[in-house]
């Protein structure tokens, strides 16, 4: 989560994956390697890869890395895994500033501009990428467009991950809110959704739906975008107050009326859903393996259409090339070959809930056969990426500030008006702060 929220560390993550504790020896020590190229000696070309995947995502990444290594003896893949969020982004910035620390890294697409596209991050050579079968026509258009800055491609999108609706089939069947094919009814508007939640609450005896109230930005941005709200983060904050208040008032009402808990953190939210305390859950699609491991009979569909289309906040994991002090075409070519292979084999990655960005996989029969992934596959076409700013995106300051103040509308400690005022003050302070890159 990625994406998404941090996952618990995975014990024994794999023979090719190095966890954060191995940074000094495995990562930065490689920065001093130089001399004769691998091609000249006939040795495998090293690919030093940095990522932020632990937990279930980490397990799938290791599976893909092992397959890549088995199929490509001409490369020596050397992955290093760091903790999700700011620990990783700090390491990334330091490593990229050094100019020789790693060959290819993983970022969230929403962070590419803020992490230094054109300074700490080098453009991806499109001609080389095309040689390996990845072009603008094979990647989701919105992601390719977001990955392009000033006409240069700075990221290779791997997936889309976003907030969706999980539903407990047994509970929802008892509540009478399933279609004849066993899928959750589609709602339109606040009151329609509240009627469904009330029916589900009658069955659970507790709540209709649960969501991470400590991560309210994801819900807020989904609702605000459904209303057509825009947010400008340049010299001054540009925000539609009426639309923002409507979105915040929905979060207030759903908790105040007892349809959702007033407080539920990231670990507690899926636990409540698993335990049947709520029949529905708003959460990232990366929680899918957790529910499968629990043996639940559940389904998934896009974020509900509260104020319009079923739009949900989300992001994309991407591969980027760190800036190099000295050009190294061999290393760049090897890194691009690795990224292209990962996209073409992303059906494995899709098993964890993420929707492939590579269209031949996303539109394949194999992906259509995945359940419940296929239920929300269309949502990836309309993923609502965070607004552009150096402080915006996954695990960035904008999300952190929003989460901090917006929890108050759920627990009743602040009104929507008070919450909006606090949010605007916090964002303006970020706008007034000079970017670090």
**DSSP strand pairing (317-322 vs 156-157):** antiparallel
210 DSSP β-pair partners: 281
Give the whole-angstrom CA distance, residue 15 versus residue 6. 22
Please, which residues have CB within 8 angstroms of residue 320's CB and are 6 or more apart in sequence? 104, 105, 106, 107, 112, 115, 121, 124, 154, 155, 156
Domain 162-313+396-431 classified CATH 3.40.190.10? yes
Q: In the chain, how many H helices and how many E strands?
A: 17, 16
Which pLDDT score, from 0 to 100, does residue 101 have?
Answer: 79
Which pLDDT score, from 0 to 100, does residue 212 have?
Answer: 98
Class in CATH terms, 20-158+316-381: alpha beta
Residue 395 DSSP label: T
Q: What is the distance in angstroms between the CA of the first residue and the CA of the last residue of the chain?
A: 24
Which pLDDT score, from 0 to 100, does residue 350 have?
Answer: 97
**DSSP strand pairing (355-356 vs 159-168):** antiparallel
Same fold, 20-158+316-381 and 162-313+396-431: yes
Which pLDDT score, from 0 to 100, does residue 42 have?
Answer: 76
pLDDT in tens, 230-251: 999 999 999 999 999 999 999 9
Which pLDDT score, from 0 to 100, does residue 7 have?
Answer: 38
Domain locations along the chain: 20-158+316-381, 162-313+396-431
Give the whole-angstrom CA distance, residue 219 versus residue 204. 23
Sign of CA dihedral 366, 7, 15, 329: positive
Which pLDDT score, from 0 to 100, does residue 128 have?
Answer: 98
Which residue in 311, 220, 267 sits closest to 5, CA to CA?
Answer: 267
Which pLDDT score, from 0 to 100, does residue 35 have?
Answer: 41
Q: What is the pLDDT along the chain (437 residues), one digit of tens a residue?
A: 444 444 333 333 333 333 333 333 333 333 333 344 555 567 999 999 999 998 889 999 999 999 999 999 999 999 999 988 888 998 999 888 887 679 999 999 999 998 889 899 999 999 999 999 999 999 999 999 999 999 999 999 999 999 999 999 999 999 999 999 999 999 999 999 999 999 999 999 999 999 999 999 999 999 999 999 999 999 999 999 999 999 999 999 999 999 999 999 999 999 999 999 999 999 999 999 999 999 999 999 999 999 999 999 999 999 999 998 888 999 999 999 999 999 999 999 999 999 999 999 999 999 999 999 999 999 999 999 999 999 999 989 999 999 999 999 999 999 999 999 999 999 999 999 998 87
Structure pTM? 0.88
Q: Give the relative orientation of helices 216-226 and 241-256 as an angle to the nearest 10 degrees.
A: 130
Residue 313 DSSP label: B
Q: Where are the alpha helices (DSSP H) in 136-275?
A: 141-147, 169-175, 190-204, 216-226, 241-256, 268-274
């Amino acid at each position: 989560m990625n994406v998404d929220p941090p996952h618990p560390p995975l014990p024994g993550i794999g023979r090719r994956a190095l966890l954060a504790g191995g940074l000094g020896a495995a990562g930065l020590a490689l920065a001093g390697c130089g001399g004769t190229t691998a091609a000249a000696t006939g040795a495998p070309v090293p690919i030093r890869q940095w990522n932020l995947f632990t937990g279930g995502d980490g397990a799938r990444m290791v599976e893909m890395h092992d397959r890549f290594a088995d199929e490509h003896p001409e490369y020596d893949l050397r992955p290093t895994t760091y903790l999700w969020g700011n620990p990783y982004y700090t390491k990334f910035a330091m490593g990229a500033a050094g100019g020789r620390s790693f060959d290819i890294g993983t970022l969230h697409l929403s962070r590419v501009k803020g992490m230094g596209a054109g300074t700490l991050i080098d453009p991806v050579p499109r001609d080389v990428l095309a040689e390996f079968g990845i072009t603008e026509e094979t990647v989701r258009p919105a992601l390719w467009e977001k990955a392009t800055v000033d006409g240069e491609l700075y990221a290779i999108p791997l997936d889309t991950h976003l907030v969706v609706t999980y539903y407990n089939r047994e509970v929802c069947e008892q509540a009478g809110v399933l279609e004849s094919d066993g899928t959750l009814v589609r709602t339109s508007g606040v009151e329609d959704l509240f009627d469904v939640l009330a029916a589900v609450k009658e069955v659970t005896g507790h709540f209709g739906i649960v969501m991470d109230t400590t991560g309210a930005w994801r819900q807020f941005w989904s609702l605000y975008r459904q209303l057509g709200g825009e947010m400008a983060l340049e010299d001054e904050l540009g925000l539609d107050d009426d639309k923002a208040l409507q979105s915040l008032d929905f979060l207030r009402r759903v908790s105040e009326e007892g349809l959702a808990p007033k407080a539920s953190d990231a670990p507690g939210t899926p636990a409540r859903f698993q335990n049947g305390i709520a029949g529905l859950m708003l959460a990232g699609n990366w929680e899918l393996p957790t529910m499968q491991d629990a043996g639940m009979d559940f389904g998934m569909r896009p974020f509900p259409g509260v104020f319009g289309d079923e739009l949900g906040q989300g992001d994309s994991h991407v591969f980027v090339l760190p800036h190099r002090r000295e050009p190294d075409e061999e290393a760049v070519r090897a890194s691009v070959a690795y990224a292209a292979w990962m996209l073409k084999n992303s059906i494995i990655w899709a098993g964890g809930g993420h929707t492939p960005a590579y269209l031949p996989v996303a539109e394949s029969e194999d992906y259509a056969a995945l359940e419940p992934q296929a239920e929300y596959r269309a949502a990836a076409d309309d993923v609502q990426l965070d607004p552009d700013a150096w402080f915006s995106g996954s695990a960035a300051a904008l999300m952190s500030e929003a989460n901090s103040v917006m929890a108050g509308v759920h627990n009743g400690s602040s009104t929507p008006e008070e919450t909006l005022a606090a949010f605007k003050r916090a964002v303006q302070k970020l706008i007034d702060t000079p970017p670090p890159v």
